[in-house]
Chain A
Amino acid sequence: MTVRKNQASLTADEKRRFVAAVIELKRSGRYDDFVRTHNAFIMSDTDDSERTGHRSPSFLPWHRRFLLDFEQALQSVDSSVALPYWDWSADRTVRAALWAPDFLGGTGRSSDGRVTDGPFAAAGGNWPVNVRVDGRTYLRRSLGTSVRELPSRAEVDSVLSMATYDMAPWNSASDGFRNHLEGWRGVNLHNRVHVWVGGQMATGVSPNDPVFWLHHAFIDKLWARWQRRHPEAAYVPGGGTPDVVDLDETMKPWNDVRPADLLDHTRFYTFDTLEA
């Protein structure tokens, strides 16, 4: 069984294996398919029409399945690898070990945002940015520039305390847990982290930065924590909602998996720890 660990507790060997598997997916061309899929959903998910991957109740199960696909791809390269998660409410500065040269590398230089150290720096030749919205082919970041602070534990806690999974109109205007976690409303958790990292992470092609997976693995863990805290609360809507994925409706692009199939993460992986 796959165990997803806090990135801060990974051994040097675990970091090395994770990085090597990610780079092998990039080399083989499989990585960029994930970037392409994500951007296609970013551009087509809208508040007033069909929405699946984002700004909708299925934001959480969609990304859970998307991460499972990516993790399985990693495991086809190295079966020992699992997705780590980044608890940005705890490891909240540019000095976190996450950004060290033996893992993801650090922030970009001020002139052009180019990441200059670590295994994903353009100079290493292993990380061409191919699926992109502008002409630049190098990984960029600007940690903590567009927004100063990552969300705090208290802010995370305030969102975990919301007892309703999601609410009509089931989009970026909704009240409830999902939209506050996604960040279109309220203290802003998930969206703010994308903005804090900057570079490609602030765009529709955000999976170009490997930290995308560690960020979403933590968002996914927060969903699991929310379920543990609110065992009586359920995924909604339960049926008959236009443009929105109901509990028992299949999700694009897979078309063979429903939110109902993804509510229990322990069918697929566990976490190193799971506090409520």
Chain B
Amino acid sequence: MPELTRRRALTAAAALAAAAGVQTLVAPGASAAGHSHEGSLEPFDEVYKGRRIQGRPAGTGDMDAMAGMDGMAGMGGHHHGHGTGYAVFVDGVELHVMRNADGSWISVVSHYDPVATPRAAARAAVDELQGAALLPFPAN
């Protein structure tokens, strides 16, 4: 079953990413990619209310810098083709986020309430989830 395979892969990728640690994740190349966008598109990686939230630019051609997270992003078959250019993860599971024209952000679990940055969207998602596991999208 593809879903189980993907879950296993996600778990493995998350473990790798965790082992590699923050220093590896926020590699110089990734930071440079972040700075090439205006404003809020820098990577982040923190534990918020007991859950690991991560964000990074996506589709910038700088994938190698964050191999573990790239693995996660690539596995789902989802492409950030609608121009978000940024991927957010909660405990290693990708959270669908979207940038509004005014630069604010929303996510699929807090869709009608824009916040200023992808990190704020990730934190709002953790608040909304109340400890529940995020499901890989698309949900079905």
Chain A residues in contact with chain B, CB under 8 A?
Answer: 36, 39-40, 42-44, 46-50, 55, 112-113, 131-136, 146-147, 169, 171-173, 183-184, 190-192, 194-195, 202-206
* Contact between B101 and A132, CB atoms less than 8 A apart: no
* Given A171-B101, A202-B111, A204-B108, also A112-B130 (CB < 8 A): yes
Could you pull out 18 A-B pairs where Cβ atoms are within 8 angstroms? A47-B100, A48-B82, A49-B82, A131-B139, A131-B140, A133-B139, A134-B133, A135-B135, A147-B113, A169-B101, A172-B101, A173-B101, A190-B112, A191-B113, A202-B109, A202-B110, A202-B113, A202-B128
* Contact between B128 and A49, CB atoms less than 8 A apart: no
Specify the main secondary structure of chain A where it touches its partner.
Answer: loop
* Given A46-B82, A191-B113, also A133-B108 (CB < 8 A): yes
* Contact between B112 and A183, CB atoms less than 8 A apart: yes
Q: What is the distance, in angstroms, from A219's C-beta to the closest C-beta of chain B?
A: 13
| A48 CA / B137 CA spacing, docked (Å) | 21
Q: What is the distance, in angstroms, from B117's C-beta to the closest C-beta of chain A?
A: 17
* Contact between B132 and A194, CB atoms less than 8 A apart: no
| A205 CA / B82 CA spacing, docked (Å) | 19
Q: What is the distance, in angstroms, from A183's C-beta to the closest C-beta of chain B?
A: 7
Pairs of residues from A and B, 3 with the lowest C-beta to C-beta distance, nearest first: A173-B101, A46-B82, A194-B112
Specify the main secondary structure of chain B where it touches its partner.
Answer: loop
* Contact between A134 and B83, CB atoms less than 8 A apart: no
* Contact between A184 and B100, CB atoms less than 8 A apart: yes
* Contact between A134 and B82, CB atoms less than 8 A apart: no
Compute the total of residue contacts between A and B using a CB distance below 8 Å.
91
* Given A48-B101, A171-B101, A173-B101, also A206-B111 (CB < 8 A): yes
B129 at the binding interface (Cβ < 8 Å)? yes
Q: What is the distance, in angstroms, from A55's C-beta to the closest C-beta of chain B?
A: 8
| A46 CA / B112 CA spacing, docked (Å) | 13
Q: What is the distance, in angstroms, from A49's C-beta to the closest C-beta of chain B?
A: 5
Find chain A residues with CB under 8 A from B83 CB.
46, 48-49
* Given A49-B82, A169-B101, A173-B102, also A195-B139 (CB < 8 A): no
Chain B 119-140 interface mask (CB, 8 Å, partner A; 1/0): 0000000001110111101111
* Contact between A47 and B112, CB atoms less than 8 A apart: no
B31 at the binding interface (Cβ < 8 Å)? no
Q: What is the distance, in angstroms, from A181's C-beta to the closest C-beta of chain B?
A: 13
Find chain B residues with CB under 8 A from A171 CB.
101
Find chain A residues with CB under 8 A from B56 CB.
none
Tell which of B81, B84, B100 has the most Cβ of chain A within 10 Å: B100
